Amino acid sequence: MVIICSSSSSGSTLLSNLLNRHPLIASGEELGFFSKPIFYDDFSRLKRLSFLIRRYGISSNPYFDDRSILRNLDSYGLNTRIGWKWVKASSTIQELSSKFERYILESTEKKIWVEKTPENIYLLKKFLSAFPQAMVLHIVRDPRDVVLSLMKRGFSFEYAGDIWLSSVAAIQPFRSNKNILEIRYEDLIIKHESILQKICSFFNIPFNKSFFVEDKYVSKGILRSKGFDSWGADPSQPISLNSVDKFKQLPKDFFSRLYHMKLTKTFADILGCAEFNIQDLMNRYGYDVPEQIPPLTNLTARATRQNLKQKRGIAETLKQFFITRYIETETPIKRVMI
C-alpha cells in the first residue's frame, strides 16, 4: 500500500492520475480516513459514534479542521452505507484499510493501491506506526505558486501560506525513512520521464514511458474528477509547463508576508519538529529565497482560519450541539504566525 501526501495545490492529483495509468497501480479520489486521528487513536469510539460522525463528520484537530470523512466513495463504485458497514465490521484501521485495498485491487485488477489525500501528511507518525511496510510519496511545490493557486480557490493569502508551511513541516521528522520518497512538482512537470522512472524504481515495478501517456491501462472501476475550475487544467490530460513559476509574474514584494511566516511553538511540538519558517523549508527543497526580504512594516497578518459569522437555523444549531457535545473534544490551534 502507498499513500500520497502533500500541501494542497501541490500536484498530488496530477501524480495520482499519472500513476493510475500504470498497469499495476490503482489510484483514485481522496478517501480521507488515513488523515483522521480517530481511526488510529480510538477506533471503538469511531464505531460507537458512527451515526453522528457519519452525519456531521469529524475534524482532524489539532492538525486541521476539515470535517469530511470517507468521501468520494461513489468514485470507486461504493456508497456511504457500504463504507460505514466496513467500519462497523472492523476493529482497527488496519482491518478497515485491508477491506478497501482488497476491494479496489480486485475491481481494478491491479496490484498496488495508492491512496491520495494531501492531508495524510499531518498523520505520518501514526500512519507509519500502523503500517510500517507501507510506502509514502510526498510531492512538494514552490510555496509561492501554491499560495497563488489556493487564493484562486478562495483562500486568504495567510491561510494559504499556513497550509504550505504546516504541511511541509509535518514530514520533516520522517524524511530519512527509507519508505518515503519525495519529489518536487516542478521536476515532475519538467523532467516527468525521469521522475516517473524513479517512482517505479521505488515501487520495484516496471517502467515504460508509454504507460503514462496512454490510457490503455487506466484503472477500470475508478472515476476521476477533473479537479477545481481554478486549476485551469485537467490533471488527466498531458502535462503542461503553464503551472510552473507563475509567481514570477508578480512583483517580488507581493510575497513579503510569506517569507516571514513560521510555525508556532505549540504546533511545532505537536509535529515533533523545529519551529521552521518558510525560508528554512524553501532552502531544504531547493527553492530560491530572495537575498533581501522587505520588513513587515505596517503589515498585519494572522495565519488563522477565517471564522465567518453566519446566522444559524435550527438544523445548524442542532448540528453544532451534537458536534460540541459528543464528537469534538479539542478546538483548532494556531499553527503559524507572522
For the chain, the structural domain boundaries read 2-216+254-290+298-337
Per-residue confidence (pLDDT) for residue 40, from 0 to 100: 97
In whole angstroms, give the CA distance from residue 288 to residue 212: 30
Say which residues have a Cβ less than 8 Å from residue 182's Cβ, sequence separation at least 6: 138, 139, 140, 171, 175
Give how far the C-alpha of residue 199 lies from the chain's centroid of Cα atoms, to the nearest Å: 18
Indicate the class that CATH gives domain 2-216+254-290+298-337.
alpha beta
CA 167 – CA 65 distance, rounded (Å): 13
What residue type is 153 in one-letter code? Answer: R
Q: What is the reported pLDDT for 236?
A: 64
The neighbouring-strand residues paired with 135 are 2
Can you list the residues of the chain whose pLDDT is less than 50? 231, 298-312
> Taking the chain, what is the end-to-end CA distance rounded to the nearest angstrom?
38
The confidence score (pLDDT) of residue 240 equals: 77
pLDDT of residue 11: 96
Looking at residue 310, its pLDDT comes to: 38
Return left, alpha or beta for 230; rule: phi > 0 is left, psi -120 to 50 is alpha, else beta. Answer: alpha
User: Quick one: cell of 54?
Assistant: 457519519
Quote the DSSP letter at residue 241. G
- What is the pLDDT at residue 96? 98
- The pTM assigned to this predicted structure is 0.88
79, 23, 82: which is closest to 212 by C-alpha? Answer: 23
List Cβ neighbours of 156 (8 Å cut-off, separation of 6 or more): 306
Alpha-carbon span 135 to 25, nearest angstrom: 13
